[in-house]
Structure 1
């Protein structure tokens, strides 16, 4: 009597659409510089916009999307949002960054068309988780962004070797910000990233603050001055 064998399981993948609510802050001028702002894990667009209020004084407009994936913030009893899942596997991380890159660049194009924006320059600001994916997508889209502000995150320079060399020729610039008391991101690794970017010929600056893993008024003031210096705006 022959032994029966179960057939292997049939597997597939069902595509889902994700929603990315967004808000647009700042003066009603379609030509103003546009700063695309990516929040940290567990935050949402309203929380992040509250931290960034001073940045509109550049003057500039802020496009602040909510990350597409809900995440539980148990200690606060609420639901926040996340840009990607991370388990340490670097190739999987790169795929997640590629997916986020596509979502954000499509969002920027769509919002600009719907709102009839014609920004004379675009910058990307990313904090924490939003800084990791923001640096990746900004440097890989130098035709879209003139520069980036990354706070509380390390630029994954090992993923961006060609893009760093390209930035030396395009004039793409970077402001890195780090809190001296940040226990989530190593200051030494931040400095190493800055060195690698500078060695590739990039216009890059690292500013440190008496802060932890946070984005406060001091960082926002420096970011405002940095954007203004690159757009001819006057920081109030």
Structure 2
């Protein structure tokens, strides 16, 4: 079971069923690394921040280690993906949570995991928000599953030295072809959250009420 930090946005629960945001940190992060994203949410969101299972030698944790050629360990990726699906399943039938508003938000490698969740388990999500992310190698060749009704927000810096902008465009194209409602925001900046992406994400969140429950 993945360790997970759970809290209410703005410190209080809503009057009715709550939306859920699964916050997925990047390489070397932990369950506190995505705290800055909490400020983007209005009151009443349940924010769940799991810690990835694989320790990084330089500190923090990863969702999957990299091999000598820089390629992901797909077995480890599958292990992490199963852990995240298990977390979502724990909350699937909780009457205090709104099944129409389950969102995975990830940065960098966490963004890759959010993309993997959307592609492998779209019925468990209503949306994804991916910052400086990418589609993990090895997943792009899977037969596409329908993503009709899924909302996807993708933000990427045009000067990102770690993940090229083409990765975000390819991910947006993959989601669109599968039927997702995609918002792609490219901005002047590197491998970090910049003000234009922050403003666009908050505006997108304000409209995030998908018309039906996840598939």
- Give the alignment's TM-score, normalised by structure 1: 0.74
Alpha-carbon distance in 2 for matches of 1:62, 1:159: 32
**Number of positions where the alignment pairs a residue of Structure 1 with one of Structure 2:** 203
Q: Which residue of 1 aligns with 2:28?
A: 42
**CA separation of 1:179 and 1:133: change in aligned 2, threshold 3 A:** same
Give the superposition deviation at 1:34.
Answer: 0.8
Residues 176-227 of structure 1: per-residue CA shift (max 9 Å, x gap): 1101221011112322332343334332221012221112454333223213
After superposition, residues 54-203 of structure 1 pair within 5 angstroms as 54-57=39-42, 60-73=45-58, 79-87=59-67, 88=69, 93-110=73-90, 117-119=96-98, 120-156=100-136, 158-163=140-145, 166-167=146-147, 170-203=148-181
Does the CA contact (< 8 Å) of 1:138 and 1:148 recur in 2?
yes
Asked if the contact 1:101/1:137 (under 8 Å) is kept, the reply is yes
RMSD, matched Cα: 2.6
SS of match in other structure, 2:3: coil
In the alignment, the residues of structure 2 paired with residue 204 and residue 101 of structure 1 have an alpha-carbon distance, to the nearest angstrom, of 22
Write the distance in 2 (CA, Å) between the matches of 1:101 and 1:176: 20
Post-superposition CA distance 1:129-164 (Å, at most 9, x none): 11112210122222210111111111246144422x
| Contact 2:154/2:182 (<8 A) preserved | yes
Structure number with bigger Rg: 1
Kept in 2, the 8 Å contact 1:54–1:224? The answer is no
Structure 1: give runs of 5+ residues left out of the alignment.
Answer: 1-17, 74-78
Structure 1 residues 31, 185: CA separation in 2 closer, same or farther (over 3 Å shift)? same
1:122 Cα deviation (Å)?
Answer: 0.2
Post-superposition Cα deviations, 1:67-118, rounded to whole Å, max 9, x if no partner, equal 1222233xxxxx311111122586x6433322111101212333677x8632
List runs of 5+ in structure 2 lacking aligned partners. 211-215
